[in-house]
Chain A
């Protein structure tokens, strides 16, 4: 795992990828800092931190696009998968490399905070909280990118889909506020979800039995829930979307609160996405 991580980490700086990521991130965050704080004589650092969240949308796809898609394209996955290491070690190693580059870049922006602290009043607890939140949110976003790079055929589609996945999460709060809460549309939503999962199983196994079984089990679950726990259908869409509302959970960090619940959420979100990535790669060998 360490070998995979080290190689991947070095690759970031042997190819343009790492420099483009770090350069873009620091350039744009520098703009935000210069215009928001320096030129405005403002020591309100939290607003700066909020605004660089927006950068993640563009920066994370750059960071993760090559990770697994390029291995497949160059056929180097044949080396990795026939070596005496596990798929988990490969995926986690790659994740850690991307996260490392991300963290280093993030740490550079602490210089801005130091500048604010010297020339003004830095809201220390908010800043520390926000940085912890940044790191966790970054980890979650990177895990999404890792998953997509495992599915994508090449770097471009990988970056493209990662961008849209992140954009979707970005707009999730809007989607949530307009989504209907009544039981009927919730049921339709649940049915669509079941169908989607069934289609996913079929696409991965090419067996009608597996896909059909998932659809039938899902349908039974929907009916049973209607009979015995109908209240679950009130606001179901909102509740499901809440699992993915990574940004909303960031708010408390920005206020200087580091809550165990949120930390656990981000870490388990990351772990689940990496786990699904491992399963997908292992599954592909059977296809």
Chain B
């Protein structure tokens, strides 16, 4: 459905996107995950035809977007990072304008707007000026805009940014719903969000795809049990003593404990080892009350650290 080959974008000397290639099949919901400035928005801007690539090509169903831009653009709905809204128009006027530039046939415009309003839940602000809407509503009007042309591909750049938790859940549900009959590419810098909506994740860093695949596999790969957080109802010395006998531990670091009268330490062991069982029995044998034992989840930052230090290995 979407095929990107060796996409490169250079801003002067700065390399924003560096030879990115991927394919997205029909009906897939793909998340671009990456820190700010990783090249997510630039890639999306090229996919939608807003920017041109310095090098490389984008095909939508084997049609190069540069060769038949009008035909391809009709099939893509795009919600950019900043929703492209005209503050002086009402929601109704705005959506009507969008329908017209998306070449929606005149007799279908009213139905299309009606459906869009219900889908994204903005019926109640239908006649208000876009400029007076809250951030959450604006984001939703932006989303309605992307749906107006009845596209089969949706490109959503940080669709939940700036929303409150309730709205985030609503938008996520909506996107998941849209994913059933659209091909969706969305971007985010929040790991759990992508986790919720997308099956497939592309981690982008410094303009390159650092990892592409199933999210569960990616996190499992990275979060091995070599980092364990241990919480004990004891002072630091007793905790360290209890850990002393366990074979394979390389380092013990004191952490800030969330609980009173408890010590929390981060235990590092040899790579790909799992010392949790040994830790539990060590504490039991020394009668130090162990109240918590968990594998430290890799945060997005850590995933990036790991990925960027091992880009060569991943790329192969």
User: Chain A: residues with CB nearer than 8 A to chain B?
Assistant: 2-4, 7, 10-11, 14-15, 74-86, 206, 285-287
Contacts and interface: CB of A to CB of B under 8 A. Distances in A.
Interface of B: 11-12, 45, 48-52, 54, 69-71, 73-74, 76, 78, 80-82, 84-89, 93, 97-98, 100-103, 145, 149
Given A3-B97, A75-B80, A75-B82, A84 B102 contact: yes
Given A79-B145, A84-B102, 13 more contacts: A2-B100, A7-B97, A74-B86, A77-B50, A78-B80, A80-B84, A81-B49, A82-B73, A82-B76, A83-B98, A85-B103, A86-B70, A285-B50
Nearest to A75: B82
A170 B314 CA distance: 64
A50 to B, nearest CB: 36
Given A3-B100, A75-B82, A206-B12, A82 B49 contact: yes
A11 B88 contact: yes
Contacts of B45: 78
Contacts of A77: 50, 84
11 contacts: A4-B101, A75-B82, A75-B84, A79-B80, A79-B98, A79-B101, A83-B98, A83-B101, A86-B70, A286-B54, A287-B11
Contacts of B97: 3, 7
Which among A15, A74, A86 has the greatest number of chain B C-beta atoms within 10 A? A74
Contact of A85 (B70, B84, B88, B145): B70
Contacts of B102: 83-84
Given A74-B85, A285-B50, A286-B52, A3 B101 contact: yes
Instruction: Give the 5 A-B residue pairs with the shortest CB-CB distance, closest first.
Output: A3-B100, A79-B84, A84-B74, A76-B84, A84-B70
A75 B84 CA distance: 6
A82 B78 CA distance: 8
Contacts of B50: 77-78, 81-82, 285
A75 B138 CA distance: 14
A86 B12 CA distance: 26
Contacts of A287: 11
A51 B173 CA distance: 64
Which among A10, A14, A84 has the greatest number of chain B C-beta atoms within 10 A? A84
A89 to B, nearest CB: 9
Contacts of B69: 84
Nearest to A83: B101
Nearest to A93: B101
Contacts of A81: 49-50
A11 B78 contact: no
A104 B60 CA distance: 45
A86 B103 CA distance: 12
A81 B76 CA distance: 12
A286 B84 CA distance: 21
Nearest to B77: A82
A4 B145 CA distance: 16
Given A3-B100, A83-B102, A285-B50, A78 B74 contact: no
Contact of B52 (A11, A76, A285): A285
A75 B149 CA distance: 19
Which among A75, A76, A78, A81 has the greatest number of chain B C-beta atoms within 10 A? A78
